[in-house]
Amino acid sequence: MALESINPVNGELMESFAEWTPEQTRETVAAVAEAWPAWAATSHSRRSALLTKTAQVLRAAKEELAQTMALEMGKPVREGRGEIEKCALVCDYYAANGERFLSAEEVATDASRSYVAYRPLGTILAVMPWNFPFWQVFRFAAPALMAGNCALLKHSSNVPRCALAIEGIFRRAGLPENVLRTLMIGSGQVNAVIENPHVMAVTLTGSAAAGRKVAAKAGEMLKKTVLELGGSDPFLVLADADLDEAAKVGANSRCLNSGQSCIAAKRFIVVDAVFEPFLARFEKEMAALVVGDPRQEATQVGPQARQDLLEELHGQVAQSVARGARVVLGGAPLPGAGSFYPPTILIDVEPGMPAWQEELFGPVAAVIRVKDEVEALRVANDSPFGLGASVWTRRLDKGEEMAASLRAGAAFVNGMVKSDPRLPFGGIKVSGYGRELSRFGIREFVNIQTVWIR
């Protein structure tokens, strides 16, 4: 199987990479394992300096890397620049805070001295997706490397250029050659890598189906996993919300990365008292978004990353409409070359429809009318997913109260759900388990070791 870099603007093959043989993969895994003892023995200050340098390399290459994303998976170039800046930020964050997060914690016991130490585990396999091809790698890699682990990156097969660029960035920053390596393999070799005794743990960002497969194999091998899976985030609009702001932020959230974001607002749950005025504002904001070539500065919504993804998305829309949903805006692929799907709004969405139950991974919003706040909360939690949620109200106490009842890993009041290096990130239910970022993320892949001394 070849790993192909295809431009979603026109469907043209830009470059093809031969998949590694199993023997090449095993050799690389062994080389990374061999590099680990020296890396684990490297001082925190040295690792910190290398992460700081990595951030500098990222910022210097920002334009080049943004163009790579635009060409390979269709990310609007101005969003690509922001993604690289965020990667640099997470490197800076762990460079500044990693040693403190990993410092031994003294505990008073019957020993002369006892403490908790955070030791690196070894080699961690990262199975990463295409939609944020740099950020989702760096939010794992920065804390994992700072903790003294080595990393194997199995990136999505449609972003091989991004995968190779990431390895090159760390190399240019001065990291030893085999501390982080990209595996040029398809999904068919993932089980064998997990089975490899040199691999100590696995992290995956992707679909629930992929998460189940990786978790099953890792569980069979008794290896730690962290899973960040899909989301169908509710966006609750209460009667006293700032409707102009909610509509503007809601449209941006739904269509960020051309709608291909796990934490995008997807189910807009609006109380009856403000349903019509919110819908009118929301339709205006969605309709104003510029769809086009992601390399153009004016573009806000680029193509879907692959043609099969566009077809799957439209299938979900068509099935929902067939069961009674109504299209207010968009609703069909754009004619011509490329995998373009316009900003779309569905109303009259009911339980059982794909737009209610499934994740719509593209610029399609389901706007759901509910009677009141009680029903809004019930509908928000009526989902197999539990990644993020957003509540819009001028009563901050009410917003905080509802946040406490939302079954999600993150709850935002009057703001768009986003990841921040300073805060833990992850989900519950079908959205996965474990946490990335903040002090929690760096401690996911360490041996939390008790030391007792008489």
Indicate the pTM of the whole model: 0.97
Q: Is 60 helix (H, G, I), strand (E, B) or coil?
A: helix
**Token reading at 279:** 């819908």
Q: Is residue 14 part of a domain?
A: yes
What local confidence, expressed as pLDDT, does residue 3 receive? 96
CB atoms within 10 A of CB 393: 23
Q: Is 267 helix (H, G, I), strand (E, B) or coil?
A: strand
Which candidate in 262, 283, 285, 436 is catalytic? 262
- DSSP line for 232-248: -EEEEE-TTS-HHHHHH
Q: Is residue 83 part of a domain?
A: yes
Give the strand pairing for 326-329 and 344-347.
Answer: antiparallel
CB atoms within 10 A of CB 252: 16
What local confidence, expressed as pLDDT, does residue 131 receive? 98
- DSSP line for 332-382: SPPSSSS-----EEEES--TTSHHHHS---SSEEEEEEESSHHHHHHHHH-
Q: Is residue 426 part of a domain?
A: no
Q: Is residue 425 part of a domain?
A: no
Residues 18 and 59 in one domain: yes
Give the Cα separation of 7 and 159 in Å (integer).
10
Task: Tell me the pLDDT tens digit for each residue of 361-407.
Answer: 999 999 999 999 999 999 999 999 999 999 999 999 999 999 999 99
**Active-site annotation holds for 91:** no
Kindly report the CATH number assigned to the domain that includes residue 188.
Answer: 3.40.605.10
Residues 36 and 136 in one domain: yes
Residues 277 and 340 in one domain: yes
Q: Is 251 helix (H, G, I), strand (E, B) or coil?
A: helix
Residues 412 and 293 in one domain: yes
Q: Is residue 116 part of a domain?
A: yes
**Active-site annotation holds for 228:** yes
The total number of residues shown for the chain amounts to: 454
Residues 147 and 252 in one domain: no
Task: Tell me the pLDDT tens digit for each residue of 215-269.
Answer: 999 999 999 999 999 999 999 999 999 999 999 999 999 999 999 999 999 999 9
Beta bridge partners of 367: 268
Q: 361 is in which domain, residue-wise?
A: 233-420
Question: DSSP code of 19?
Answer: P
Q: Among all chains, which residue has been given the structure tokens 């139950």?
A: 357
Residues 68 and 136 in one domain: yes
Residues 88 and 180 in one domain: yes
What local confidence, expressed as pLDDT, does residue 430 receive? 98
**Total structural domains within the chain:** 2
Which candidate in 19, 72, 83, 228 is catalytic? 228
What local confidence, expressed as pLDDT, does residue 245 receive? 98
Which residues lie below 8 Å from residue 397, measured CB to CB, with a gap of 6+?
A: none
Residues 205 and 246 in one domain: no
Residues 178 and 324 in one domain: no
What local confidence, expressed as pLDDT, does residue 154 receive? 98
pLDDT along the chain (454 residues), means of 10: 95 97 98 98 98 98 98 98 98 98 98 98 98 98 98 98 98 98 98 98 97 98 98 98 98 98 98 98 98 98 98 98 98 96 98 98 98 98 98 98 98 98 98 98 98 98
Residues 390 and 256 in one domain: yes
Give the Cα separation of 356 and 125 in Å (integer).
34
Kindly report the CATH number assigned to the domain that includes residue 237.
Answer: 3.40.309.10
What local confidence, expressed as pLDDT, does residue 1 receive? 78
Residues 142 and 58 in one domain: yes
Q: Is residue 77 part of a domain?
A: yes
Residues 200 and 242 in one domain: no
